[in-house]
């Protein structure tokens, strides 16, 4: 009996020791893991997918102190989405994109892209950002020379993918870039940008200068270029060029974000339809040949296709009415 009690006591002692060692091991593991997370937050982002790709908090920016473009702007953007950035002329679309790319700097507030401050222009971040501006310059060289000079800045640049895109866009590879049409130049830099394999792709008016077949090619290529690790932001005035491409709408107005909502959320809360007459249920309507194109609350869970141009005009005209729906 005494021997049995002794064995049980030793067993309990060993168990307690195991629990204590296990706790110490867990504590050591999580402490070291936390240190790794702090030191390599970008890596953790890709491995765990728990950190927003873009985090904007109380951002204030203006080219003049007396005329701010953004006042206390806050927003979070995640990977795995194609965002459509809309706004009137002068609303700050291009400026917001330049802030994200680290080309201009905020006066106050914080802006993080993949855990980095883009204003510091760190190479580890820059190689993961592809910014395709509306206005650009291409040198008097052929495509292969351009690639040789610029591809090394992006360690994941995919030469085979770039070649495939150039063929898809039907670009004359033997012609110097400077002699190409504006639309051809635009397609070259779009192909280059996607081939960088950057995690953040920023495009400012990418369909300007593209003909109708090229716009269809652009939508097809962008849809295939999207991955779960990538975040794509497209700023445009040509809202119909983004139909069936974007999954989230961001609208800028009056120094801040007037709307940020997924297409699914918008069509769940609003319905877009043609009506013969206007009644009190309609939030906004525009005359059409057969009556009115209207936006109204989706009380009956009707399915409708998002009309981004109509939504854009509606938000600008009736901000107060829409705000409770998307707050």
Tens of pLDDT along the chain (327 residues)?
Answer: 444 444 444 444 444 444 343 444 334 433 344 443 344 444 444 434 545 899 999 999 999 878 889 999 999 999 999 999 999 998 999 999 999 999 999 999 999 999 999 999 999 999 999 999 998 999 999 999 999 999 999 999 999 999 999 999 999 999 999 999 999 999 999 999 999 999 999 999 999 989 999 999 999 999 999 999 999 999 988 888 887 899 999 999 988 999 999 999 999 999 999 999 999 999 999 999 889 999 999 998 999 999 999 999 999 999 888 888 887
Dihedral angle over CA of 174, 178, 181, 185, nearest 10? 80
What stretches of 198-279 show up as alpha helix (H) in DSSP? 212-225, 263-269
Residues with Cβ within 8 Å of 176's Cβ and at least 6 positions away in sequence, in order, are 140, 141, 142
Which residues touch 170 (CB under 8 Å, ≥6 apart)? none
Which residue(s) pair with 65 in the sheet?
Answer: none
pLDDT of residue 64: 85
Separation CA 314–CA 327 (nearest Å): 16
pLDDT digits (tens, 9 = 90+) for 123-160: 999 999 999 999 899 999 999 999 999 999 999 999 99
d(CA 244, CA 242): 6
Please give the backbone phi and psi of residue 209, each rounded to the nearest 5 degrees, phi first: 90, -5
User: Which 3 state secondary structure label does DSSP give 310?
Assistant: helix
DSSP 80-132: SEEEEEEE-TTSSHHHHHHHHHTSS--SEEEEEETTB-GGG--HHHHTTEEEE
What tokens appear for 135 in the block?
């206005």
State the pLDDT at residue 254: 87
Can you give the pTM of this predicted structure? 0.81
> How many CA atoms within 13 Å lie on the side-chain side of 195?
21
pLDDT for the residue 3: 46
State the Cα–Cα distance between residues 128 and 113, nearest whole angstrom: 10
- pLDDT of 292: 96
Question: Closest by alpha carbon to 90, among 56, 109, 62, 58?
Answer: 62
């Amino acid at each position: 009996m005494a021997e049995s009690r002794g064995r049980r006591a030793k067993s309990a002692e060993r168990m307690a020791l195991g629990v204590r060692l296990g706790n110490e091991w867990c504590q050591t593991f999580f402490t070291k893991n936390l240190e790794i997370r702090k030191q390599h937050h970008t890596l953790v982002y890709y491995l765990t997918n728990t950190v927003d790709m873009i985090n904007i908090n109380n951002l204030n920016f203006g080219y003049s102190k007396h005329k701010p473009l953004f006042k206390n702007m806050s927003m979070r953007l995640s990977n795995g989405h194609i965002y459509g950035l809309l706004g009137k002329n002068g609303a700050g679309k291009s400026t917001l994109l330049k802030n994200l790319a680290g080309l201009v700097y905020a006066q106050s507030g914080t802006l993080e892209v993949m855990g980095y401050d883009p204003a510091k222009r760190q190479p580890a971040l820059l190689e993961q950002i592809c910014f395709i501006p509306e206005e650009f310059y291409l040198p008097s060289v052929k495509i292969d020379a351009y690639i040789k000079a610029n591809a090394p800045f992006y360690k994941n640049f995919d030469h085979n993918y770039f070649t495939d895109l150039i063929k898809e866009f039907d670009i004359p590879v033997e012609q110097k870039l400077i002699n190409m049409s504006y639309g051809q130049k635009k397609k070259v830099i779009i192909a280059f940008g996607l081939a960088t394999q950057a995690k953040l792709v920023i495009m400012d008016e990418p369909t300007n200068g593209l003909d109708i077949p090229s716009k269809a090619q652009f939508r097809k290529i962008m849809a295939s270029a999207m991955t779960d690790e990538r975040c794509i932001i497209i700023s445009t005035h040509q809202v119909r060029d983004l139909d069936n491409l974007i999954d989230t709408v961001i609208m800028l107005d009056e120094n801040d974000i007037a709307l940020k909502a997924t297409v699914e959320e918008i069509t769940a809360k609003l319905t877009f339809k043609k009506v013969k007459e206007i009644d009190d249920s309609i939030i906004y309507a525009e005359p059409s040949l057969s009556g009115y194109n209207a936006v109204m609350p989706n009380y009956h869970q009707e399915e409708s296709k998002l009309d981004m141009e109509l939504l854009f005009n509606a938000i600008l005209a009736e901000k107060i009415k829409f705000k409770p729906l998307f707050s």
